[in-house]
Structure 1
Amino acid sequence: MSRIYSAEELSEYDGIKRQEIYVSVRGKIYDMTPGKDFYGPGAGYHIFAGKECSRALAKMSLSADDCTGELGDLDEKQLKVLDDWQKKFDEKYTFVGRLG
């Protein structure tokens, strides 16, 4: 059974406060630690570490303001981009829990 993480708990898994790096997509949390060259401190996608980043991924945004799960105003193309990211994460990274 998977663990439920609060947003506050998830924020600890940013590669700084804790060594592990977790990212949430549509509430599904992945262990991104093996991808620390991309998601670790100082890396291009570190903005996503310890956060729900569905909106940012869908919009191809690196803005902290887009690191949310708010998807209501996104168009079909953006949701397809998000689907592609999530599929990639499902294939490459370990599922560790859900954002609750």
Structure 2
Amino acid sequence: MSFIKNLLFGGVKTSEDPTGLTGNGASNTNDSNKGSEPVVAGNFFPRTLSKFNGHDDEKIFIAIRGKVYDCTRGRQFYGPSGPYTNFAGHDASRGLALNSFDLDVIKDWDQPIDPLDDLTKEQIDALDEWQEHFENKYPCIGTLIPEPGVNV
């Protein structure tokens, strides 16, 4: 019977929600991420990251300082109608450091990755706090890297 289930369902565990949307989402510790496998893992170009914005794909990925986090279970914050929706599918580092939700702090996928070398100590401290928050709440699933010939 398991052979038929694997054949029909591709070995996918149908009893679990791979997006994490049905979980309670109340835990703020890394324990909530243990045992759950990331939906996608590896390197992301800004172009590929941009697709995971909650609109084009149900999954929501956000990059901070080159690390990509699966924030799908935080859809109420980062999804299409959430207060941080501008960060979905993007490198949110500058916006988080500046505490700004303006679109002009978010780079398009065809622009170079922001080096953040002009941030003040206070802005870096704010970004450190945000990154710690993401580390504790969402699984890190990959790395944001420049796309050759595009983000240079």
TM-score bin, normalised by smaller chain: over 0.9
TM-score (norm 1): 0.95
2:65 pairs with 22, 26, 29, which one? 26
| 1:70 Cα deviation from its structure 2 partner | 3.7
TM-score (norm 2): 0.63
Alignment of 1:50 with 2:95, yes or no, is no
Aligned to 1:75: 120
Q: Which protein is richer in helix relative to its size?
A: 1
- RMSD in angstroms over aligned alpha carbons? 1.0
5+ residue gaps, structure 2, are 1-40, 108-113, 146-152
Per-residue Cα deviation, 1:20-47 (whole angstroms, up to 9, x for no partner): 0000000100000010000000110000
* Distance across 2 between alignment mates of 1:12 and 1:33: 13
* Distance across 2 between alignment mates of 1:6 and 1:81: 25
Higher RCO (CA 8 Å, separation ≥ 6 residues) = 1
Percent of residue pairs bearing the same amino acid type: 38
Alignment of 1:93 with 2:93, yes or no, is no
Aligned to 1:4: 43
* Distance across 1 between alignment mates of 2:71 and 2:120: 27
* Distance across 2 between alignment mates of 1:62 and 1:22: 17
Q: Which protein is richer in strand relative to its size?
A: 1
